[in-house]
Copies of this chain bind each other. A is one copy, B any other.
Amino acid sequence: MSPRRVTLADVAKAAGVSRTTASLVLSGRGRELRISQDVEQRVLRAADELQYRPNIVSVGLRTGSSRTIGFVSDTVATTRLAGDMIKGALEAARERGFMLFIGETEGDAELERLLLQAMHDRQVDGLILASMFTRTIKVPKAITAGPAVLLNALPKQPTPLPAVLPDEVEAGRRAARVLLDAGHRDGIYLIGAGPGLRNVPSESLAAVERLVGIREALGEAGVKVAGARTCPDWQPEYGLAATQDLLRTVQPRALICFNDRIAMGAYQALDDLGLKVPADVSVVSFDDHPIASWVRPRLTTVALPHYELGRKAVDVLFTEIERDRADTEEVGQVHRVPMPVRSRESVAPSPTADSLD
């Protein structure tokens, strides 16, 4: 069928040298091992002419490195946002000549075990354990064997694994600052969580951290949260219900929605009452879901940097792989990736703002 692959032996024969010599030249160690210029050229030319490419499977068997990393997620590959995470990881890996194995566990521990095993069987050089939502996960002990990184997740039990996460606290601060910069001081309500740190959906790290950031930034400006409504799940229908409930008693100047889906519900609740965004109510949110730039007015939101998260995870994994060789001891560090504000049309200056500055 396909003409048999060109092997090192073919190159060696064509160049009239031994396999050893060919190997040395091609791995760049020819210089230090005093291979003559003449032979070096002959080997290089032969390799080029035959279009030789080393068989990575073979190299993998001998050296133990398959130039491959495993990307295991709960269900991350399925969502648009998280697809970017994979894309970032893919590109960062490619730049180093590595490929990615993808696997989804669907939250099934047994599936996860099998998947990790399958990757281990293929001698992956490292693993990225990714989560769809930012949360704490139980780290399967199977992965403590080799280099690994948690992505968008923190270990439930203390482990030496490094983790890569979006900087949600700073994101909360930024969301608040968007409103503060627009002159808002009063009538700022939260939809999805708060106002206190106990009024937060469990399991969701993002909720807590965003809330902390929001309160910090507002607090520093001497501004108080006017009120809040929680949502059992961060879906549009709950955002709608929560906002409707809020609007029954007060008229807010600004809403900080805990994600874009909630904001969709809020938009609808406001629209139903004839309230205009942003003239009557400013809205700021989190995630930068694609829908945020589709709705009118387009939603100002603090973006989850999925692409960068993916890249960063690979970067950290590679330092981990290096470290493994160097045998340096170090604790599992937490890396935070900044979440950028996407300024769009859902925020307007507060009508009550001082025009002093």
Contact = CB atoms under 8 A, between A and B. Distances in A.
Contact of A90 (B66, B77, B97): B77
Given A58-B61, A77-B77, A264-B294, A121 B53 contact: yes
Interface in A290-304: 290-291, 294, 296
Interface in A13-64: 53-58, 60-61
Say how many copies of this protein the assembly contains: 2
Interface residues of A, number: 49
Nearest to A325: B1
A133 interface: no
Contacts of A1: 145-146, 324
A115 B90 CA distance: 11
Given A2-B146, A57-B66, A78 B78 contact: no
Nearest to A66: B57
Contacts of A78: 80, 83-84, 86-87
A179 B158 CA distance: 59
Q: Is the interface of A mostly helix, strand, loop or mixed?
A: helix
Interface string A262-290: 00100010000000000000000000001
Given A57-B61, A57-B66, A90-B104, 14 more contacts: A57-B60, A66-B122, A68-B101, A78-B83, A78-B84, A83-B83, A90-B103, A94-B103, A94-B115, A99-B101, A99-B103, A100-B101, A101-B102, A291-B291
Interface of A: 1-2, 53-58, 60-61, 66, 68, 77-80, 82-84, 86-87, 90-91, 94, 97, 99-104, 115, 117-123, 145-146, 236, 264, 268, 290-291, 294, 296, 324
7 contacts: A57-B122, A66-B122, A77-B83, A78-B80, A80-B80, A99-B122, A291-B294
